[in-house]
Amino acid sequence: MIFQYLLVALLSFVIIYGTQWPVPYERVTNRPTNNPYCQAGLISFCPTGKTEDAMIYAQDDNDIIEIFALKKPVWSFKFGDLMAKFKIMHDALGFRSQQTGQNWTMEWYELDQLFNCTFPHVLQNDSFIWCDQGALCVYNGIVDSMWNGSSDLSMLKKVAQISGKNYNTWASWAVNDNDTGVYYETWTVYSDNGPNSTMYFDSYDCASFVIRGLNQLYSYGADILPNIHLNYTRINIYSYEPELLGTYDQIVQNQTLHQDFLNFYHNFDSKKPSTGEWIKSLIDIYETFFLSRRFYLYYNNVYWYMKLKQPAPLKISFNEIPITSLLKMK
């Protein structure tokens, strides 16, 4: 009920004032329980981490905690370096105590894998289930060989350091960040590919965690080493100005719209990979963008309609984002 009021308020706001771009990513007060329907399948979430009180803190305020940028090709366990050729990289942070030599890793990723986060499950009766939560996994150790791979874009590199005391303040921030930023967003949406483009929606994925995490470490006093350049993968959609549609229940009220909406999601749902066919699925999904000319984006629990730009509605980018970029935006 409250959600309905908020949505009406949001719709009125949009009509009166126009939309604020990029649309701010909405946080929750507490992470909802994951729908038991949602299962990870092949790779379970955080198999080596603890499930409760998972954060690792510094034992001594006077310790120096070193910070590492970690990158590896997505699905490297399955495809080796293949994804690096398309610049599809996974990002994480590593930490090491100078006093004890102990190290640990933090990775933010999907609870139920990427495809489940990107497209809903369309049930027999046309209702949807989204398995789109992501979360922070913290575990002991940095497995050097996992990050220090043979791809040029792989990375295991010290980028900064911070006092134990300030690290612990940051670690509490990260726990709160994990409790309140819970939905994975695959896509970044821009008006075009040029330097003056408008960003309509920002992604919220493994790289976003590293970007805001490093920015927050800097704001808590971390020293950044000189000449650090970090590039991040984005999967960009280029669109005309998006149009807010609202919730599924609102979409159902317009039959033409509902039918097109279902066709769109059925089309993607049918292309999701079954074991072993991931590359074929990726290519099929990629082609869909060029044919469909439209996209229904799910963001902050509501849907938006987007008319895609032609001839290039989709592009993967791997551009530099400086550690202090978010701080400078405020």
Residues serving a catalytic function are 90, 206
286, 283, 304, 282: which is closest to 295 by C-alpha?
Answer: 304
Binding to ligand NAG by residue 208, rule CB under 6 A? no
Binding to ligand NAG by residue 241, rule CB under 6 A? no
Binding to ligand NAG by residue 36, rule CB under 6 A? no
> Alpha carbon 231 to chain centroid distance?
15
Number of residues this chain uses to bind ligand NAG (CB under 6 A): 43
Binding to ligand NAG by residue 31, rule CB under 6 A? yes
Answer for which of 76, 116, 236, 239 binds ligand NAG (CB under 6 A) is 116
Helix 278-292 with 255-269: angle, nearest 10 deg:
150
Binding to ligand NAG by residue 325, rule CB under 6 A? no
Mark residues 245-264: x for contact with ligand NAG by CB under 6 A, - for none.
---------x-xx-------
Q: Which amino acid is at 115?
A: F
Binding to ligand NAG by residue 195, rule CB under 6 A? yes
Give whole-number Cα distances, 298 to 164, 248, 303, 325, 330, in Å: 40, 10, 5, 26, 26
Binding to ligand NAG by residue 166, rule CB under 6 A? no
Give whole-number Cα distances, 124 to 128, 129, 188, 255, 274, in Å: 9, 11, 30, 18, 19
53, 42, 108, 112: which is closest to 79 by C-alpha?
Answer: 42
CB of 272 to ligand NAG, least distance (A): 7
Bond from prior residue into 322 cis (ω within 30 degrees of 0): no
3-state class (DSSP) for residue 83: helix
Answer for which of 100, 141, 180, 287 binds ligand NAG (CB under 6 A) is 141
Binding to ligand NAG by residue 243, rule CB under 6 A? no
Answer for which of 65, 142, 155, 297 binds ligand NAG (CB under 6 A) is 142
Residue ranges of the alpha helices (H) in the chain? 2-17, 76-79, 82-85, 114-118, 144-147, 164-180, 206-219, 248-252, 255-269, 278-292, 325-329
Paired residues of 90 in beta bridges = 72
Binding to ligand NAG (CB under 6 A) within 80-99 occurs at 94, 96
Q: Which amino acid is at 83?
A: M
Binding to ligand NAG by residue 225, rule CB under 6 A? no
CB of 38 to ligand NAG, least distance (A): 5
Residues found near ligand NAG in the complex (CB under 6 A): 31, 37-39, 41-42, 46, 51, 54-55, 68, 94, 96, 103, 112-113, 115-116, 121, 123, 125, 127, 131, 135-136, 138, 141-142, 144, 148, 156, 175, 178, 194-196, 231, 254, 256-257, 318-320
